[in-house]
Amino acid sequence: MRKNFRKNKKQEKEKDVIITIKRLGINGEGIGYYRKKIIFIPGALPNEVVVAKIVKEYPHYIQGELVRVKEKSPDRVDFPKDVDPEIGGLELAHLSYAKQLEFKKANVIEALRKFHPRNYDKYKVKNTIPAPDQWHYRAKASYQIERDHGKNKLGLYAPNSHRLIDLPVMPTQSEGTQKTERDIKHLIEKNHVFIADRRKHLDGIKTIVVRQSEATKEIQVTLITVGHKIKNLMNLAKEIMNLPNVVSVYQNETDWRNPQVWGNKTEKLLGKNQITEVILGKKFELSPRAFFQLNPVQTETLYSEALKFLDLTPDQTLIDAYSGVGTLGILAADQVKQVVGIETIPEAVEDAKHNVQINHIKNADYFQGSVEKVLPELQKGGLPIDALIVDPPRTGLAKSLIKTLLRVKPQTFVYISCNPSTLAQDLILLTESYDVRLIENVDMLPQTPRCECVVKLVLRK
């Protein structure tokens, strides 16, 4: 529930309006109509009648805020206790889990309807596979730190605001990562380590990233700093190493001009180079900057589905495009003749090469660079591209890559997407040569509107 939901009737203002909610939007917000304009009301559910405040009116829509629910949906569940109602990542926590799964499937269908790739209304979209753990599944926490009125705050910003929620109770975050963040805050204070301050141009710590392996419980800590030489940082790192399960502490350096969380320079301060995760019996060593799914338990289901969809044969060369630390290719290596992975982040490519070795795989190689550049080069060099799995970031595939794929026409093609909207747009082009055989949704992030789809594409004869 949002902050103003707690208001009582007397406090309702003239600007408050009564809205019947028709459906959920792609970000999980309730959608209704007010004076023929669409109104978005986060926290409201379909078929509810709600009192909402008009926050801002735009030319084509209105942003509303939930004041109270007049007629409640039977699908409404209690928002978790003691959790800041404005925290991000819990956009659907007031909706029953069964309905969250239905919403995620409907979200994919809605994106297909909106962009209507060829024959979209005939695609088979299977029911969303539920996550075994709907709480405490996030194995990585990335908390910002700032100094506010003489006190340190470490936590998450409320979405679209500058309000940092200090040590938030985050019910989807794993206990281990939350506790480590709390302990580090205490150690920063004990060691008098500076906190970065943009207004005062002060160097110091800006972000603390804690990642834990589900299989080995090992914890990797990265202190993202503005500036390099931070007084007492090494003392802090030594004390962090004594916290339960912590096996390494890294420093990543950024500056105020960089809008991203991570800077380009990463240096190990103490401990092991990587932490080890285990997925479907294979080991994966992870460097701080390498991508890894946030929900390691459900990752096994996602990858198993992707491998089923691939249905590989021993004579094939599999391209693992957007390969991260080499997960999908390594899991598929014993089913094919050869695996070739492509990934932009150099540390992730190093991890992938190392992971090939520790899993005793002889037929996989990983290349650093963008898929759109490296794939056509490899093809020109004579690499057969008969099987392909793509797992791009939310932005989807580059148009130039789609052009290459339509020319090369891999026989076996699976697309893993974390964004139905870019998936549907990419399918407009890909269905010039491919049919969509099956779409499966796997719920990786319960309580959020996010979903992960596996799509099987079949080359049209």
Q: Which residues are catalytic?
A: 418
| Closest CA relative to residue 128, chosen from 457, 455, 456, 453 | 453
- By beta-carbon proximity to ligand SAM, the closer residue of 41 and 444 is 444
Residue 183 CB neighbour total at 10 angstroms? 17
- By beta-carbon proximity to ligand SAM, the closer residue of 196 and 424 is 424
Under the binding rule (CB under 6 A), the answer on residue 391 touching ligand SAM is: yes
Say whether 175 counts as a known binding-site residue. Answer: no
Say whether 293 counts as a known binding-site residue. Answer: yes
Say whether 250 counts as a known binding-site residue. Answer: no
Strand pairing report for 23-24 and 265-271: unpaired
| Closest CA relative to residue 25, chosen from 16, 33, 34, 17 | 33
Say whether 351 counts as a known binding-site residue. Answer: no
Q: Is the separation of the CB atoms in 387 and 316 below 8 Å?
A: yes
Mark the segment that binds ligand SAM (CB under 6 A) among 82-90, 168-176, 230-238, 390-398. 390-398
Number of residues that bind ligand SAM (CB under 6 A): 19
Residue 58 CB neighbour total at 10 angstroms? 9
- By beta-carbon proximity to ligand SAM, the closer residue of 165 and 345 is 345
Q: Residue 146 Cβ, how far from ligand SAM at the closest point, in Å?
A: 28
d(CA 180, CA 184): 6
Of the candidates 322, 366, 413, 434, which one interacts with ligand SAM according to CB under 6 A? 322
Mark the segment that binds ligand SAM (CB under 6 A) among 32-40, 93-101, 155-163, 288-296. 288-296
Q: Residue 16 Cβ, how far from ligand SAM at the closest point, in Å?
A: 41
d(CA 234, CA 269): 7
Q: Residue 243 Cβ, how far from ligand SAM at the closest point, in Å?
A: 26
Mark the segment that binds ligand SAM (CB under 6 A) among 37-45, 109-117, 291-299, 431-439. 291-299
Q: Residue 291 Cβ, how far from ligand SAM at the closest point, in Å?
A: 4
Of the candidates 100, 316, 323, 422, which one interacts with ligand SAM according to CB under 6 A? 323
Phi, psi of 434, rounded to the nearest 5 degrees: -120, 150
Greatest pairwise CA separation for the chain in angstroms: 74
| Cα torsion through 116, 400, 384, 307, rounded to 10 | -40
Question: How wide is the angle at C-alpha 43 spanned by C-alphas 2 and 294, nearest 5°?
Answer: 95
Question: How wide is the angle at C-alpha 106 spanned by C-alphas 100 and 107, nearest 5°?
Answer: 90
How far, in whole angstroms, is CA 21 from its chain's centroid?
28
Binding residues among 172-201 for ligand SAM as defined by CB under 6 A:
none
d(CA 223, CA 86): 26
Under the binding rule (CB under 6 A), the answer on residue 413 touching ligand SAM is: no
Q: Residue 342 Cβ, how far from ligand SAM at the closest point, in Å?
A: 5
d(CA 359, CA 351): 12
Binding residues among 328-387 for ligand SAM as defined by CB under 6 A:
328, 342-345, 348, 370-372
Residues that bind ligand SAM (CB under 6 A): 291-293, 322-324, 327-328, 342-345, 348, 370-372, 391-393
Binding residues for S-adenosyl-L-methionine: 293, 322, 343, 391
